Amino acid sequence: MSFLLAEGMTGGYGAADILHGCTLKVEKGQIAVIVGPNGAGKSTAMKAVFGMLKLRAGHVILDGEDITALTPQARVAKGMGFVPQVNNVFPTMSVEENLEMGAFLRRDDFRDTMEQVYDLFPILKQKRRQNAGELSGGQRQQVAVGRALMTRPKLLMLDEPTAGVSPIVMDELFDRIIEVARTGISILMVEQNARQALEIADMGYVLVQGANRYTDTGAALMADPEVRRTFLGG
Amino acid sequence: MDILNALVALLNFVVIPATAYGAQLALGALGVTLIYGILRFSNFAHGDTMAFGTAMTILVTWALQAAGITLGPLPTALLALPFAIALTAGLVLATDRVVYDYYRRVRAAPVILVMVSVGVMFVMNGLTRFVIGVDEINFADGARFVISARGFREATGLAEPLTLRSSQLITLITAALVVWALFWFLGRTRTGKSMRAFSDNEDLALLSGINPNRVVAVTWIIAAALATTAGTLYGLDKSFKAFNYFQLLLPIFAAAVVGGLGSPVGAIAGGFVIAFSEVGVTYAWKKVAGYLIPAWQPEGLLQLLSTEYKFAVSFAILIIVLLFKPTGLFKGKAV
Amino acid sequence: MSLRQPDAAAGGRLRAPLLFAAMAALVAIEAATGGWNTALGIVNMGLISAVLALGVNMQWGYAGLFNTGIVGFLALGGLAPVLIAMPPTPGAFAGGGPGIALAALVALASVIAAIAVNRRLRGRPRAIAIIAILVAGFFAYRALFDRAVAVIQAINPSAQGNLGGLGLPVLLAWPVGALFAAGAAWIIGKTALGLRSDYLAIATLGIGEIIVAVLRNEEWLSRGVMNVNGIPRPWPVPYEVQLQADPAFVSRMAGLGVDPVTGSTIMVKLLYTGLFLVVLLALIWAAQMALKSPWGRMMRAIRDNEIAAAAMGKDVTRRHLQIFVIGSAVCGLAGAMMITLDGQMTPGSYNPLRYTFLIWVMVIVGGSGNNWGSVLGGMLIWYLWIKAEAWGPVLMSFLTAGMAEGALKSHLLDSAAHMRLFTMGLILLLVLRFAPRGLLPEK
């Protein structure tokens, strides 16, 4: 059974459903990417996995445990980490305090986790006394990812981590995400930059109108002429 | 030109009173700004929270005095303060549970919360009047002066007297301690940091597992402590009258807005900006001018505005800040 | 506002008439037990409260603006009858008038100059120039102003010592009072609107206190705490002594079996009631027409969703300024009416708890957004406010009847008078929480 199994998710914010039987799976230590046109429900699907949306049908199973009924906070305790697309740092707090807040639920010593985050993002160690709000966009995203890593999640979810950053910074962020995955953390990511994201993805999901259209490995999707023509711009 | 006497007069009539008043305003503004940062509304009941807290201090002071307990040269009110803070914190926590909690749950617009706080202000005002009446109350005991006018004149031989009332010195020391403790709490403790995180980004704080109820409760307790301390110091320095505390609302709001709503450093700076402007504008400068330029005999008192208009000073500063820099000197949250 | 209340429409179309009938019954009971004189006194002040509540309701109910300086606009409006209707102080206008006018011009000119500099220059020179202009302007203003004031206050200080009025009919002062308040509101609105909603509340709190402080202290204007007495009656209200000296009136009263002195006071109060009713009904008619017009629909659209309205190209801040000025003008009108009714201006009596926050209770209890609701709230809360003064001690002595004589009992009896504020706050909180749309909800 997959590490994360979100099956047949159906639901929305109000009366109308946005997701229609959407299914997502992520294996241990692998990267899964959700792509699709605007309004396809990509972010909504991820929020559903994280419990920020009430599901009318379907269930979410993490590491063999059904967590469908849990609140987002409780899911964090179960090993989920979530990086929102915007407003994902505490701007008037220092980088180090941001990481500390990420570890808020932990009562044990989290200094070694913080060191691991600094090893992963060396720039953050340099700027650890600086306020997160004063950092560049790419550095802020690193803080955001670092904050989510502080709970030592088994599944890290990223909502468009490269939105609004330059191509160079984007490549660097993707490199870091691969490194995170290598430490055994599963990754579920929504991306606008579909082509680049699928290149690093073990598994890709193309969503259209809240339902799975294509599901395959990243490389296979990249190779599929239909997918290329319709969603990757040729 | 008599610089020494001019300096003493300046110290005596402007610097010392304005510093003490500024510290009192700063403590009040800190409470307003914390509530704004965490609960996201301007609390109109803060002046009356100060009045209620001071009333509690006075009652406990009377009880202590009746039991024969005093602090010697220090005012008994300082001993009563912790009890008063506990009582006031109890009241505001109960108010939060009964009143504000509902509006948070339904995610009411901030302006509704402001209006609700007006209702709370009414109730607290009535409660304070009920408990202690409307009359002016002087509850300072202990030594009156640290430096008395006569002592200073005899010691220095200067024509101009300098007085430092103990209430002024106590205000400064207490305010410094309170501010240090508050900043230590916000900057170093886990709970304090979680409050700042909540103020910075509520959604992310919730995602990080910060318990909003706890943050809100701690905020109210701190606000009650700040309000009670500020009110007691103001009452020791001047006197206690419930209506005066309602009127302090304007300079306190002005201080918080000048500093930037939601910024604790700003609240302190704002408190002193307001206090020095108020005292400076309403002080009759004739005496200082007389020492500096003996040849000049001005007709009037050289007073820019009469003391009745001291609130106009807060207001003018408020308007200027809103016109030119609505986020305040220290980049508050509100625009 | 956005809080909905499912059972608000209970009672349906009969709700408003029934509630107004109940209000009328309360007045009738008051008349039966306390006499028509007190009853009409409550009605007259209730009508003024209703006008005030109507003005505040325009700001809150139509636009969601929270004005905490009602007392200031009311007081400013009250200045108009003094300046318009009082007999002129001989020599005051000639002696001090030009000086004050010149001082005002200097003040205005320096503010305009500062604004011009603010637009033209940038950076540090701008700040220095603005400060220099304002400081120089202030000193020039004070020099001119102080001299003029000294001249005015020297004239017959025991009875006048103020600028006096123009000696015009007092009814003319009503629109002027509205204009005064509108001017102050424009300045505040220009500054605080368009920013976060809390700022308007804070800024109006400030202007309210300052206007009252000015009236209390500027003796050349309002005689401060010495009060201005003997403001003339408006047409068609006569003086009681005139009625009593009129044989036709006396014989008519005798025919009705009423003592002519009592009859004359009731007659005067009734005429005021009629006058106020005309104003109130005209205002409601205008307000209802405005609400139904495209302008009113736009106002409500803005209130219900500012962002959407702004996205549709509506200038939200400008509309808010409009409604804020109009609502404040109505408050000013009420202030002028109140001074006319009292026949005197007592600057010391303008208390924000009574004239700002009590009005809010009226608006919220009556039903935000509903004009008739404001009228009902104004009348009802004013009635309760007056009655609570009498009921409080009675209730308290009833509650403490079983207690032993002592300090606690006498303290409780003494503090009953303060319970009015407590009660009003409680009513406000309860209505906001459990019936946020008030007695007569907006449709």
Q: Do chains C and B touch (3 or more CB pairs under 8 A)?
A: yes
Residue extents of the structural domains in chain A: 1-72+185-234
B124: nearest CA in chain C?
A: C422
Q: Do C196 and B44 touch (CB under 8 A)?
A: no
Residues of B in contact with A91 (CB under 8 A): 200-201
Tens of pLDDT, residue by residue over C177-214, are 999 999 999 988 988 887 777 888 888 988 888 899 88
DSSP string, A119-145: HH-HHHHHTTTSBGGGS-HHHHHHHHH
Distance from CA of B183 to the nearest CA of C (A): 26
Mutate to test the interface with C, among B35, B116, B130, B307 (most CBs of C within 10 A): B130
Contact residues for A110 (Cβ-Cβ < 8 A; gap 6+): A100, A103, A150
Pairing assessment for the beta strands A186-190 and A31-35 based on DSSP bridges: parallel
Angle (CA) A103-A107-A111 rounded to 5° is 55
Between A24 and C405, the higher pLDDT residue:
A24
- For residue C10, count other CB atoms closer than 10 A to its CB: 9
Residue C142: its chain B contacts at CB < 8 A? 304
Whether residue A92 lies within 8 A of chain B, CB to CB, comes out as: yes
Q: Which of B118, B126, B318 sits opposite C202 (nearest CB)?
A: B318
Count other Cβ atoms within 10 Å, centred on residue B70. 15
pLDDT over 80 (residue B334): no
Residues in B closer than 8 angstroms to A140, CB to CB, are none
Query: Using CB atoms, which residue from B194, B200, B203 is nearest to A104?
Result: B194
In the A/B pair of chains, how many CB contacts fall below 8 A? 57
Distance between CA atoms of A94 and C10, rounded to whole angstroms?
55
Cα nearest neighbour of B255 on chain C: C202
CB A37 within 8 A of CB A12: no
Q: CATH assignment of A1-72+185-234, given 3.40.1710.10, 3.30.70.360, 3.40.50.300, 3.40.50.620?
A: 3.40.50.300
Judged by a CB distance cut-off of 8 A, whether residue C137 touches chain B is no
- B-facing residues of C in 76-95 (CB < 8 A) are none
Interface test with B, best of A47, A50, A104 (most B CBs within 10 A): A104
User: CA-nearest residue of chain B to C211?
Assistant: B312
- Report d(CA B129, CA C414) in Å as an integer: 10
Of B193, B200, B206, the CB nearest to A100: B193
| Phi, psi of A113, deg, nearest 5 | -60, -40
**Tokens at A179, concatenated:** 């490194």
From the list C210, C424, C433, which residue is nearest B102 (CB)?
Answer: C433
Type of residue numbered B170: I
Residue C37's CB is within 10 A of a number of other CB atoms, namely: 12
pLDDT of residue B333: 65
Rounded to whole angstroms, the maximal C-alpha distance in chain C is: 81
The per-residue pLDDT for C274 is: 94
Given this model, what pLDDT does residue C4 score? 42
Q: How far is B188 from chain A (nearest CA, A)?
A: 10
Task: Report which of B75, B32, B38 is spatially closest to residue B54, judged by C-alpha positions.
Answer: B75
pLDDT for the residue numbered C9: 46
Angle, vertex CA B77, rays to CA B71 and CA B83, nearest 5: 110
Q: What is the DSSP letter of A21?
A: E
Tell me the three-class secondary structure of C128-173, residue by residue: HHHHHHHHHHHHHHHHHHHHHHHHHHCCCCCCCCCCECCCCCHHHH
CATH of region B3-134+142-324? 1.10.3470
Q: What pLDDT, on a 0 to 100 scale, did the predictor assign at position C11? A: 55
Instruction: Kindly list the residues from chain A whose CB atom is less than 8 angstroms away from the CB atom of residue B197.
Output: 90, 93, 97, 101, 104
The encoded tokens of residue C22 equal 């109940």
pLDDT-wise least confident of A17-26, B34-43, C287-296: C287-296
Q: How far apart are CA B4 and CA C62, in angstroms?
A: 61
User: Given B110, B116, B247, which is nearest C432 (Cβ)?
Assistant: B116
- Which residue would you say has higher pLDDT here, C278 or B286? C278
Q: Where are the alpha helices (DSSP H) in B133-163?
A: 149-156
Distance from CA of C325 to the nearest CA of B (A): 18
Nearest to B109 among C1, C68, C429 (CB): C1
pLDDT tens by residue, C15-31: 889 999 999 999 999 98
pLDDT confidence of residue A193:
86
Q: Which residue of A has its CA nearest to B333?
A: A92
User: Residue A207 corresponds to which tokens in the numbers above?
Assistant: 């969503």
Q: Are the beta carbons of C198 and B309 separated by less than 8 Å?
A: no
C-beta separation of A71 from A51 below 8 A: yes
C-alpha count within 13 angstroms, C-beta hemisphere, residue A82: 29
Number of neighbouring beta carbons within 10 Å of residue B287: 18
Of A87, A91, A102, the CB nearest to B208: A102
Nearest CA in chain C to B102: C433
Residue A57: count other Cβ atoms within 10 Å of its Cβ: 13
Residue appearing with tokens 């009250």: C78
User: Phi and psi dihedrals of C255, rounded to 5?
Assistant: -60, -35
Shortest Cα distance, chain B CAs vs residue A228, angstroms: 36
Write out chain B residues lying below 8 Å of A90, CB-based: 196-197, 200-201, 204-205
Distance of CA A177 to the CA centre of its chain: 10
Contact C274, C44 (CB under 8 A): no
Residues B224-280 pLDDT 10s: 999 999 999 999 999 999 888 988 999 999 999 999 888 899 999 999 999 999 999
CB C305, CB C50: distance < 8 Å: no
User: Is the per-residue pLDDT at C106 higher than 80?
Assistant: yes
Structure tokens at B328: 């305040």
How many angstroms separate the CA of residue B126 from the nearest CA in chain A?
39
The per-residue pLDDT for range B160-185, each reduced to its tens digit, is 888 999 999 999 999 999 999 999 99
**How high is the mean pLDDT of chain B?**
91
A127-146 residues touching B, CB cutoff 8 A? none
Decide if A73 and B206 are in contact by the 8 Å CB cutoff. yes
- The residues with which A62 forms a beta bridge, in sequence order, are A4, A65
Residues of B in contact with A100 (CB under 8 A): 190, 193
Residues with Cβ within 8 Å of residue C435, at least 6 apart in sequence = C5, C8
Enumerate long-range contacts of A104-111, CB under 8 Å, 24 or more apart.
Answer: A104/B190, A104/B194, A104/B197, A104/B208, A104/B209, A104/B210, A105/A76, A105/A77, A105/A151, A105/B208, A105/B209, A106/A150, A106/A151, A106/A152, A110/A150
Taking residues C30-39, what's their average pLDDT? 89
pLDDT at C7: 44
Which chain C residue's Cα is nearest to B119? C425
HSE (side-chain half, CA atoms, 13 Å) at C284: 17
CA angle in degrees (0–180, nearest 5) for C194-C198-C204:
85
Answer whether A92 sits within 8 Å of B196, measured CB to CB. yes
Mutation for testing the B interface, residue in A75, A101, A105 having most B CBs under 10 Å: A101
Chain B residues with at least one Cβ partner in A under 8 Å = 190, 193-194, 196-197, 200-201, 203-210
Asked whether the CA dihedral C2, C3, C7, C11 is positive or negative, the reply is negative
Backbone angles phi, psi at A7, to 5 degrees: -115, 135
Chains near A, with 3+ CB pairs < 8 A? B
Instruction: Give the position of tokens 């400081």.
Output: C135
Q: Which DSSP helix (H) or strand (E) runs through C94?
A: helix C92-95
* Shortest distance, CA B42 to any CA of chain C (angstroms): 6
Low-confidence ranges of chain A (pLDDT < 70): 234
| Residues of chain B with C-beta less than 8 angstroms from the C-beta of A76 | 207-209
Of C146, C199, C419, the CB nearest to B322: C199
* CA triple B142-B143-B144, angle to 5 deg: 115
B110 to C196: CB separation less than 8 angstroms, yes or no: yes
Are C210 and B308 an interchain contact pair (Cβ–Cβ within 8 Å)?
A: no
Q: Which amino acid is at C343?
A: G
From chain A, the residues in CB contact with B205 under 8 A are 90, 101
Residue C2 pLDDT exceeds 50: no
Confidence category of residue C351, pLDDT binned at 50, 70, 90: confident
Q: Does the beta carbon of A147 lie under 8 angstroms from any beta carbon of chain B?
A: yes
The residues, any chain, with a CB within 8 Å of residue C39's CB and separated by 6 or more, are C27, C28, C30, C31
pLDDT digits (tens, 9 = 90+) for B102-144: 999 998 888 899 999 999 998 999 899 888 888 899 998 888 8
Contacting subunits of B (3+ beta carbon pairs below 8 A): A, C
